[in-house]
Structure 1
Amino acid sequence: MNFKNKKLFLLILIIILSLHLFACSSSNKAGVDLDKQIEETANLMVKMVTDPTVSSLGGEWTVFSLARSDLDIDKAYFEKYYQNLVQALKEKDGILHDRKYTEYSRVILALTAIGKDPTDVEGYNLLEALGDYEKVIYQGINGPAFALIALDSKNYEIPYNPNANIQGTRDMYIEYILEHQLRDGGFSLLGEEPSDPDVTAMVLQALSKYKEKPEVEEAIGKALDYLSSIQLEDGGYSSWGSANSESVVQVIVALTELAIDPDDERFVKGGNSLMDNLLTFYLDGGGFMHIKEGTKENGGGQAGTLDLMATDQGLYALIAYKRYKDGKNSLYDMTDVK
């Protein structure tokens, strides 16, 4: 090779390497301080939620996220939640809710994360509720989706429910979900188009353990195509009229549950990955905004400020991403919990 050809070869090599480095950095610009962001947000949550109880806010999702972080969280914190749950069950004769059965799924996830047995909480078997097919699907697609996530978190059997008119099974819940996939490939709470990114991603989380079934694999493929097609140029998502952090959270969790890298090229738009977008909602010192400052939201909500729900979800998205990168069990696969 003569001198001119060597120079040309080196120039081409430098260009190729530069493009590769740019692609890597642009698809994961936000991942540098991941450990710090997780620790800061976890510490903040412990300070904000001092008495975790049975609630979607200040309760199970906080406990679940902290337990799945693998940080050295004081076990007394989790015990406090457990005792609050026991008290709530005794006060309500073991009935968390007579219609919203996602309450049971959420509590089962928290208990599993902290190493407690959901089949025996002071004599109450919380898994039994998920055997009532009619009540599980009462809320619409959220019910069976979260029932499957909870049941599969530690490969629980569905107990026989003597009070159910129809005994539920995994296959029945999967069939219900598949029947409600919309023409655009996604899913929505109301069962009408357009589909919603959050709901679509949550359904993917539920179906992830069944992707070997041909009909499920097909449904997953359509839903992934839908989520890729509606992703914004900044790497995020808009739901109910506003670009928000929770929507991108659910997509990150869905991909990690499916063992798909969140930096997959299908989910990088305008050089921005899902994680790049999520971290634009991150606040210095820990925590997440629901919507950014200057954003208007149809359903209300304060822009540009710390939001408890967004922080719960933001934290477990960071954890899901880190667990995927570290080769650990996924966020919802808690067969690693003793």
Structure 2
Amino acid sequence: MKNKKPVRIILMVLAALICIGSMGYANSNARRKAALKKKIYDASQKTIQHYYDTYEPREFAGLMDWPALGLYGFGEDISGPVWTVNGKNAAYWREEQVKAKEGLSETKNTDYQRTLIGIVSANRDPRNFGGIDFVKTVKETMLPNGHFADSVKDTRTKVPIGDDLINSQCFGIISLYCAGEPTPNRDKAIRWLEKNQHVDGGFTWDVKDYSDKEDYLKVTSDVDMTASTLMAFSILKMDTNYPPVKRALEFLKNQQLDNGGFQSWGVQNPESTIWAIQALLMHGENPLDKAWEKTKDCGPVEFILKHQLENGTFTHVLDEKDMLPVYDNSMTTYEALYGMADAYNEETTYTKLYKANRPQSEKLLFSDFKEGDYGYNEAVEAAYDYVIDIYADGTFKPHKNVTKGELARYMVNALNLQDEFYSKYSGDELKFVNENSDVLEIDSEDNYIKLCLEKGIFQGIDSLDKEGEKEREIRSDELIPALLNGGKLINKNLEAEKLEFDSFISGETVSRAQCAVSLSKFMKLVK
């Protein structure tokens, strides 16, 4: 028999070398991050000082909306005493503008969305700012197809209108997130974004609706909108396993330049790089990591910092000859500040705002359902987990009976089957197979029922185990078996009694509040 001892020794040595190498890489990455963070912090303080010195003589008028986001990210309270002169500050002046309808056009939903972000960044109440409830206003702009309308009010009809801008969709989702709110009609909001993804994996500012596939194939996507859509997907709880997210991230990675930055409209610039950083952070990637360093000292953060001027401001482009900053740009400066905050905190300021504002928003989420009502806490939980949909008008409708179609949707969401739903009903090929396919058709409850039937969720429930009848109200003796089947699908054997809501009576219809309670129990048991 051959002596295997030398082989074992070699393997042990190799394992040790690999371990040492891994530790060395980890230490190198940690040192890189620490050094970058110091550079970010130093650069940010110059920008913050610039804002203070520039706006203090004006009683900080004009410091909202976007500069407030970056200042909040670095822990500055622009409504506090440091940023207040003569009892006035940025929030005071912005509120005066809102009262006068300045910087706030009803034809631009994005005006309301960015103002909402600015308000919460200033630690002010977004539900009563200048006499406007910005949370309610943005929510109510959602159209039946899940798109946040391009305008808040049409000049003639006085209702939200416009289905062309991806920008308004993304920032509708982002602005509500900053206010600590979930997005209404989440599933349709996802479908709307899905159907506007291009074959290269990216997105553009507006909808490209071609009947000829060849025209569609010629579209070149944009880094900025791809990044903002990735942020929206993350907020809607669609992770990197989700096909559209995978493709969009791949597009973004392929757009990184050799100098570490990104470009849009043919120009490499800090703004596009900042949005890319935000998207990466929201999907678990850290732009400070060595993996995002294209060559030595050429990562996305280094690229941004090269654009800073001595006075703390940032320039949109570098001098072509010497690659040095040339003149300041206000938009680049405020985007650079919140981009630096995100990179420094290794978390987007949008997420920081969400965490700060969610506790209060939970208490105000529904206009027809209050704390202390039966099922309220479970309904809030289900809404934030995007298991049960919430309505754009701010109601939950707790006493409304649940239908078969609604239950199918809830089960798909509770079991994280949206990936399969996409692959089966919402893939790119539908754009060309059926010219009339749209969000409402794709996201129909009939399709959710079909997926539940395919997965066996309605198996053995004679009244549910067939297509159609989406409006049929379900009974308690149908809800519990469906939940039990859902458990079996993920190898969890559950007990019926542990899924029942209070005052459970077999054979009676189930309200949304009662369904929320049973779904909450189900979610806890299967985790």
Q: Say whether the 8 Å CA contact 2:77–2:122 is kept in structure 1.
A: no
Relative to structure 1, the CA distance from residue 101 to residue 23 in structure 2 (aligned partners, 3 Å threshold; closer, same or farther) is same
Describe how 1:215-294 pairs up with structure 2 within 5 A.
Answer: 217-264=242-289, 267-271=292-296, 272-294=298-320
Give the deviation of 1:224 after TM superposition. Answer: 0.7
Separation in structure 2 between the aligned mates of residue 98 and residue 277 of structure 1, nearest angstrom: 37
The verdict on how the C-alpha distance between 1:178 and 1:251 changes in structure 2, with shifts beyond 3 A counting, is: same
Higher RCO (CA < 8 A, seq sep 6+): 1
Contact 2:66 2:114 in 1 (8 A): yes
1:180 CA displacement: 0.9
Name the counterpart of 1:121: 129
Q: Which residue is 1:156 aligned to?
A: 181
Identify the residue that residue 59 of structure 1 maps to in structure 2. Answer: 64
Letter aligned with residue 280 of structure 1: K
The corresponding residue for 2:149 is 136
Match of residue 308 from structure 1: 330
- Partners of 2:258 and 2:123 lie apart in 1 by 41
Aligned partner of 1:101 among 109, 116, 122: 109
Q: 1:110 to 1:142 in 2, by over 3 A?
A: same
Matched, 1:85 2:111: no
**Larger-Rg structure:** 2
TM-superposed deviation, 1:270: 3.0
Q: Residues 146 and 245 of structure 1: is their aligned pair in 2 closer, same or farther, counting only changes over 3 Å?
A: same
CA distance in 2, matches of 1:18, 1:119: 51
Could you say which residue in structure 1 is the equivalent of 2:50? 44
Q: Distance in 2 between matches of 1:153 and 1:315?
A: 17
Residue number in structure 2 paired with 1:162: none
CA deviation after TM superposition for structure 1 residue 48, in Å? 2.9
Q: Determine the C-alpha separation between the residues in 1 that align with 2:98 and 2:262.
A: 38
Structure 2 Cα separation of the partners of residues 187 and 126 of structure 1: 27
SS of 1:187's equivalent in the other structure is: coil
CA contact 1:197–1:227 (8 Å) conserved in 2: yes
- Distance in structure 1 (CA, Å) of the matches to 2:130 and 2:262: 42
Matched with 1:203 is 229
Contact 2:110–2:168 (8 Å) recurs in 1: yes
Give the CA deviation at 1:212. Answer: 4.1
**Superimposed CA distance per residue, residues 260-318 of structure 1 (whole angstroms, 9 cap, x where no aligned partner):** 211356633234321122222123352221110127xxxxxx96222111110111111
Q: Is the 8 A contact 1:64 1:109 kept in 2?
A: yes
Alignment partners' CA distance in 2, 1:83 and 1:24: 42
CA distance in 2, matches of 1:95, 1:185: 34
Please state how far the C-alpha of 1:104 moved relative to its aligned partner. Answer: 0.9
Query: Aligned-pair distance for 1:235?
Result: 0.8
Distance 1:63 1:33, change over 3 A: same
1:164 alignment partner in structure 2: none
2:186 and 2:69 map into 1 onto residues whose CA distance is 23
> 2:350 — aligned with what?
332
Find the aligned partners of 1:89 and 1:98 in 2 and give their Cα distance.
12
The TM-score with structure 2 as length reference comes to 0.52
SS at match of 2:356: coil
Indicate if the aligned counterparts of 2:64 and 2:91 stay in contact, CA closer than 8 A: no
Match of 1:299 in 2: none
Rate the CA distance shift 1:41–1:316 in 2: closer, same or farther, 3 A.
same
TM-score of the pair, normalised by structure 1: 0.78
Letter in 1 for 2:43: Q
Q: Which stretch has the larger CA shift, 17-26 or 107-116? A: 17-26
Q: CA 1:99 to 1:171, structure 2 compared with 1: closer, same or farther past 3 Å? A: farther
Q: Which of 148, 157, 173 is 2:189 aligned to?
A: 173
In structure 2, give the amino acid aligned to 1:87.
E
Task: Give SS of 1:336's match.
Answer: helix
- Contact 1:230 1:237 survives alignment (8 Å): yes
Q: Aligned partners of 1:217 and 1:47: how far apart in 2?
A: 46
Equivalences, count: 306
Partner Cα separation in structure 2 for residue 217 and residue 145 of structure 1: 17
The 2-side partners of 1:213 and 1:273 are apart by 24
> Is the alpha carbon distance of 1:72 and 1:157 closer, same or farther for their aligned partners in structure 2, counting shifts above 3 Å?
closer
Q: In structure 1, what residue type is equivalent to 2:329?
A: D
By how many angstroms is 1:142 displaced?
0.4
Q: Please, which runs of 5 or more residues in structure 1 have no aligned partner?
A: 159-167, 296-301
Aligned to 1:161: none
SS in 2 for 1:332: helix
State the one-letter code of the partner of 2:274.
Answer: V
Q: Within 1, Cα distance between the matches of 2:24 and 2:41?
A: 27
How much has 1:173 moved relative to structure 2?
3.0
Q: Give the equivalent residue in structure 2 for 1:163.
A: none
CA distance in 2: counterparts of 1:176 and 1:320, whole angstroms: 28
Bigger mean CA offset, 240-249 vs 133-142: 133-142
Query: Structure 1 stretch 174-183 or stretch 264-273: which is displaced more?
Result: 264-273
SS of residue paired to 1:136 = coil
Paired residue type of 1:218: P
| Alpha-carbon shift at residue 175 of structure 1 (Å) | 2.4
Whether the 8 Å CA contact 1:257–1:332 is kept in 2: the answer is: no
